[in-house]
Amino acid sequence: MCLALPAEVIALKDDGENATVSLEGVRKTISLALVDDVTVGDYVLVHVGFALAKLSAEEAAETLALMAEAGVPGAENLGGGVEGAEGTGGAA
């Protein structure tokens, strides 16, 4: 029931309250009543005919980059890490 699909905004309606989105080429009119500052080219999460949220391209890219190194969001704020790992060279 809480399914929501990412769709690209391809046109804003003149009334300012609705937009046309494209979902794999299927066009649909959705309501913008729940979001602010949506522009053409944005991706929004569409649920029961309403845009629920704008998707962040930067955060999506960061999530994928973290998955590639098996990291997790927010880990950079936790401190620690492996930077201080012991070297393997000979004694100084």
Partner 1 sequence: MKYIDEFRRHDLALNLASAIAAEAASSREYRFMEFCGGHTHAIFRYGVQDLMPPNVRFVHGPGCPVCVLPVPRIDNAIELASLPGVILATYADMMRVPATKRTSLIKAKAAGADVRMVYSTQDALKIARDNPEREVAFFAIGFETTTPATAVAMLQARTEGLANFSVFSNHVLTPPALQHLLEAEDGADAARVDGFIGPSHVSTVIGSAPYEPFAAEYRRPVVIAGFEPLDVMQATLMLIRQINEGRHEVENQYIRAVTREGNRKAQKLMAEVFELRDTFEWRGLGWVPHSA
Residues that bind partner 1 in the complex, under the rule CB under 8 A: 1-6, 8, 23-24, 31, 33-36, 43, 45, 47-50, 52-53, 55-57, 59-60, 62-64, 66-70, 72-75
- The minimum distance between CB 90 and partner 1, in angstroms, equals 29
Beta-carbon contacts of 26 under 8 Å, excluding residues fewer than 6 positions away, are none
- Residue 77, classed as helix, strand or coil, is helix
Say which DSSP state 75 is in.
Answer: G
Q: Which is nearer to partner 1, 46 or 90 (CB)?
A: 46
- The minimum distance between CB 88 and partner 1, in angstroms, equals 21
Spatial distance between the Cα atoms of 59 and 32, rounded to a whole number of angstroms? 22
